[in-house]
Amino acid sequence: MSDILFIIDAGHAISTPGKRSPDGESEWTFNNEIAIGFEARMMQYKNAEITRVDDRTGLVDVPLIERVKKAVKLGGTAYISFHHNAYLGVWGSHGGTELFTKENPSNSTLALAKAIHPVLVESYGLRDRGIKHTNWQVINHNYMPAVLIEGGFMDSTTDIHVLRNKDKLRTAGALVADAVAKHYSLVLTTNSELQTTKTMNRTHKIVSGDTLWSISKKYNVSVKKLEMNNPKVIPHNLQIGALLYIERVALSLMNPNDSNSIKSLGTIEIHNLSIADTESR
């Protein structure tokens, strides 16, 4: 099987005017998390390659036409652009995820959108605004299947809670990667030791009578792993109502038997790697 090249971008730069939540958080900070989650997961598939055509540091707003040109020049198989939405820029009760293709999309573009759509809805857990069509530059001028994901509204009082949850965004990125990989019939590089993303970021709210032991039995995870996943809760903040991570995305992305993969795929390390890599600017 020849390699499949995924071209991605995380929307606008940090400095791009507008593109902020009413509290001043830049859209890029949300987009970047789902893009990192996507990339980290997709890197685990055989024959999959990824190039980010935006600036990984978020400092430079690479013109959209430059992104498209680079994608075409590289001969990408598919283009996925990660964004988050805004309505009027003031807090409101609107919200939801949506997915865009260009108007009159090719069959292959539509098929890609349909593969991603259910996972997007499920992973964000927000209102389903469906698959829509509009001729935005990055998805209009592509000679490859191209979709643009809007993962919830930055100015929605409901959606913002999901957007501020980095683990949730990274998990969404990983699950989108799984859906895309499946769509292109890719298989994971590693064997069954690799944990499935389906269990990523499951949480448990502590109720009266819970013990670490009973929770570990219930979810079939070791007490040690619970401790690793919840350094801020265990042992000092274990109380009724506290949220425990059963799985966490950064930890789930590793092969648990390989200590090197912990180092290379930990949350902080991914971020640093990204900043150091100027190759794709």
Residues that bind Zn ion (CB under 5 A): 11, 83
CB of 85 to Zn ion, least distance (A): 7
Nearest approach, Cβ of 12 to Zn ion (angstroms)? 6
| Nearest distance from C-beta of residue 11 to Zn ion, angstroms | 4
Query: What tokens were used for 161?
Result: 């809670």
State the residue for tokens 């349909």.
114
Query: Closest residue (Cβ) to Zn ion?
Result: 83
Beta strands 78-85 and 4-9: pairing type?
A: parallel
Indicate the residue among 98 and 247 with the shorter CB distance to Zn ion. 98
Shortest reach from residue 160's CB to Zn ion, in Å:
15
Least separation in angstroms between residue 78's CB and Zn ion is: 19
The Cα 59–Cα 34 span in angstroms is 18
Nearer to Zn ion, 62 or 233 (CB): 62
How far is 128 from 21, CA to CA, in rounded Å? 21
CA distances from 207 to 38, 211, 244 (A): 33, 9, 11
Distance, CA of 144 to chain centre: 21
Residue 212 corresponds to which amino acid? L
Rounded to an integer, what distance in angstroms lies between the CA atom of residue 28 and that of residue 16?
Answer: 9
Type of residue numbered 207: V
Beta carbon of residue 184, minimum distance to Zn ion (angstroms, whole number): 25
The three-class DSSP label of residue 236 is coil
* Separation between Cα atoms, residue 42 and residue 179, nearest integer Å: 10
What count of other Cβ atoms lies within 10 Å of the Cβ of residue 169? 29
- Distance in angstroms (rounded) separating the CA atoms of residues 67 and 125: 30
For the CB of residue 19, give the shortest distance to Zn ion in the complex, in Å: 6
Closer to Zn ion by CB, 153 or 245: give it: 153
> Which C-beta is closer to Zn ion: that of 6 or that of 153?
153
Nearer to Zn ion, 138 or 244 (CB): 138
* Element spanning 101, H or E: strand 97-101
Nearer to Zn ion, 129 or 248 (CB): 129
70 vs 84 by CB, closer to Zn ion: 84
Q: Residue 107: name the closest of 50, 53, 145 by CA.
A: 145
Measured from the CB atom, the residue of 11 and 76 that comes closer to Zn ion is 11
How, if at all, do strands 203-205 and 243-245 pair? antiparallel
- Nearest distance in Å: CB 103, Zn ion: 19
